[in-house]
Structure 1
C-alpha cells in the first residue's frame, strides 16, 4: 500500500485533469491516451521488464487479508506492488497524487491514499468479470489502469472490457502504451480478456478511510 504525500499540481497538468474530472462527472469513466510524459512512460515500461527479468512478480490472488486466496480460475496475472524506492515508480505515484488532490477538490471524493501494482498477464491469461468494490462494503472509490505495451495490435487481444450495471458492454479498451483508464470502482464490472502476447499494466485504487478491510476483488 502506498500512503500519499502532498504536492502542488503543475499548471501543465491542469487541462488533462479537467478533462478527467469532466468525464468522471458525466460518464463515471475516462480513457486517456498519452497520459504521461514519454520519458516516464518508457521508464515504467523498462521497470516492469526488469522486474519480470529478475523474477520479482508474484502470483495474484483475490480477497483481502485472511480471505486472500489464489484463484487461477478467476485471474492469472502476476503482480509487484509499487513504492517510492525507484525513480520511475516515484514518478507514477506523484502523478497519481496530483490526480488524488484534484479529484478531492473538484469531485469531493475524500480520497485518502493510493495503492498500485505492476501486473503481467502471460499469453492466454485474463481476469474474469468483477467489481473492484461493492457498494457500502469497500473503501476503494476510484480505479486506475495504465498500460505499458508498445506496438500492441488490435488482434493481440487483452482488452479491458467495461460493462454497465445491467451487464451491457460499454467499451473495450486496447492496452496500448501510455493509455490510462480511470473509473468509479463501485459502478463498473469489468474483465481482462485473454491476450496473444505478454501484457503489462499498472493497476491502482484510490481509497477513503472510513471502512474496514473486508472482502473485495482487486482489479
Structure 2
C-alpha cells in the first residue's frame, strides 16, 4: 500500500467519521483519470447498457427515474484494472481505520447524454442495505456550470424533514478528476439534467449480507 493511499485514507476516514462524506478535488490522480476518460470514450454503443433500479428479481428499467447507461468495470482492461486496484487498496485502508467490515466492491462507468438525469434516491436496496460507502468519480474535462449534471447531496439529519424534501447540503459540479465519497444509506442524492455528454464511475463498497450460508454476490 502506498504512502499516498495511507495519507488519503486518513483524510477520508476523518471526514466520514465527522461528516459522513468528503469531496476530493483529484481522486486517485490525473494519470488514472486520463486513462479512464479515454476508456469511457472508446466504448462502443453496444458495450453500454440501459441503467435500471432495484436488484435481481426487483430490477427494472424506469426512464422517469434515471436515463443514463452503464458499463461494469473488470480487470480485463488495463485502465479499469488500475483503478480497481486503487479501490481495493482504499477499501483495505478504510477498514483498518473505521472497522467498517467492507467486504468487496462493484463499479461501473455511467454516461449521461444531453437531457439525461437520475432522480433523488438512496444507494440501498429495500431490505438489502449491503452498500455501505458510495464513491462517484468524474471524468469530464472542461466542464462548466452551464453544462449542468451536478450531483446534489441532501441532508437527513433533520428528522422533521419530509422525505423527498430534505435540505440540500452540497451541489457538486462533475469536473475532471473530482471524487465524492459518502455513506450510502445516509444521503439522498440526485443527478441534475446534463446539457452535454457526462462520464463518471460509480463504486459501492459492500458488506457481506450472506443468507443461509451463501455469499452475497455483487451482481
TM-score, normalization by structure 2:
0.89
Is 1:59 aligned to 2:64, yes or no?
A: no
Match of residue 179 from structure 2: 180
Paired residue total: 203
CA distance in 1, matches of 2:196, 2:70: 17
1:126 to 112, 117, 126: 117
Q: CA deviation at 1:37?
A: 2.4
Q: Show the 5 A alignment for 1:4-43.
A: 9-43=1-35
Matches of 1:210 and 1:37 in 2, distance apart?
32
User: Hey, what's the Cα distance between the residues in 2 that align with 1:14 and 1:66?
Assistant: 39
Aligned position for 1:148: 139
Structure 2's unaligned 5+ residue stretches are 212-219
The answer for the alignment partner of 1:191 in structure 2 is 190
Superposed CA deviations along residues 116-145 of structure 1, whole A, max 9, x for unmatched, are 100001001100000001686320000010
RMSD: 1.3
Q: Would the alpha carbon gap of residues 192 and 159 (structure 1) be closer, same or farther in structure 2, given more than 3 Å must change?
A: same
1:44 is aligned to 36
Give SS of 1:83's match.
coil
Q: Distance in 2 between matches of 1:154 and 1:37?
A: 23
| Unmatched segments (≥5 aa) in structure 1 | 1-8, 213-219
Q: Which residue of 2 aligns with 1:208?
A: 207
- Structure 1: which 4+ aligned runs deviate by more than 4 Å? none
CA-CA distance at 1:25 after TM superposition: 0.7
- Secondary structure (helix, strand or coil) at the match of 2:100 reads coil
Q: 1:49-84 CA deviation, whole Å, 9 max, x = no partner?
A: 011x45310100001011111100000000000000
- The answer (yes or no) to whether the contact 1:139–1:211 under 8 Å persists in 2 is no
Tell me if structure 1 keeps the 8 A contact 2:5–2:90.
Answer: no
**Secondary structure of the residue that 2:83 maps to in structure 1?**
helix
